[in-house]
Amino acid sequence: MNRATLLDLGAILAAAAAAEIMPRFRRLGAGDIRTKSGPMDVVTEADEAAERRIAEGVARLLPGAFVLGEEAAERDQHLLSQAAAAELAVTVDPLDGTWNFANGLSLFASMAAVAVRGEIVAAAIHDPVGRDTAFALRGEGAWIEADGHAMDLRVAAPVPVARMAGAASWRFLAEPLRSRIARRLDRVAASFVYRCAGHEYRLAAGGHCHYLLFSKLMPWDHAPGVLLHREAGGFSARLDGRPYGLGETTGGLLCTPDEESFHALREVLTQEQE
């Protein structure tokens, strides 16, 4: 994977967003939105149309690549394990932040990551509203491109836990960890949730917050962002300290500016004793 091919992948995301997502924004009918696992987990006609278009573009750009799309995986759960084992795989989240999109909130993204034998090597996170794309290439850094101009991304400088602000999504963690972390979030300076991992990763990679905490680790949500954050200088690992892998879906994920910050924040959030 080289920079030119990655930029082409970003162009595929942007074209799908322009053709399938933005024309439907704030124009969805009642029959265009369906619930999946719960009231906050929805899919729209835009998700499915964009995924088809992106998958077609990826097939032309990277012939033979295994494409793991969120909506395709919803229909066939076996695709998850196949992606981690594939020689070349591309994860696709055609519309991350679907609940926001379906409710007329302009905070959603289109994301893709490229993995070689399970190792994430390239990522693109496109903002259909802002019409810019954040990119990461393993070993070559992270940057954002808008109107033909590129700007390097860099995580925030480390600060003490009490001064950390970031996004915390904990509701899918197993008990007792779920309740423990929820009770301890008052130890940080601020916590919020955008309901869009793509924008949360872009925020952290750009140095605009200190940490990200995620509980549900579907690869289309996190493969692009983990690489973007890492190439911007950040450190991330699962809550048990193990590195994130493409096949991981549970156990939580914590992203911080560096490894020391990771251990400090994890200790504060997960300690068993008050």
- Characterize the bridge pairing of strands 141-146 and 149-152: antiparallel
Please state, rounded to an integer, the average pLDDT across all residues of the chain.
94
- Exposure string of 37-55, with b = 16+ CB inside 10 Å and e = fewer, is eeeeebbbebbbbbbbbbb
Cα dihedral value 57, 60, 65, 68, nearest 10? 20
Q: Could you give the CA distance from residue 188 to residue 193 in angstroms, rounded to a whole number?
A: 14
Nearest CA among 151, 124, 146 for reference residue 224: 124
Place of tokens 């990771």: 262
Sign of the alpha-carbon dihedral angle for 109, 225, 143, 89: negative
Is residue 38 over pLDDT 70?
Answer: no
pLDDT in tens, 71-110: 898 888 788 888 888 999 999 999 999 999 999 999 999 9
Query: What is the pLDDT confidence band of residue 179, given thresholds at 50, 70 and 90?
Result: very high
- pLDDT tier at 202, thresholds 50, 70, 90: very high
**Mean pLDDT value of segment 135-144:** 98
- Stated pTM of the model: 0.95
Bigger pLDDT: 170 or 81? Answer: 170
| Domains of the chain, first to last | 3-152 (3.30.540.10), 161-270 (3.40.190.80)
pLDDT at 148: 83
Per-residue pLDDT at 140 exceeds 80: yes
Query: Phi/psi class of residue 132: alpha, beta or left (left: φ > 0; alpha: ψ in -120 to 50)?
Result: beta
Give the max Cα distance, the chain: 55
Least confident stretch, 91-100, 128-137, 209-218, 242-251: 242-251
Place of tokens 């959603």: 108
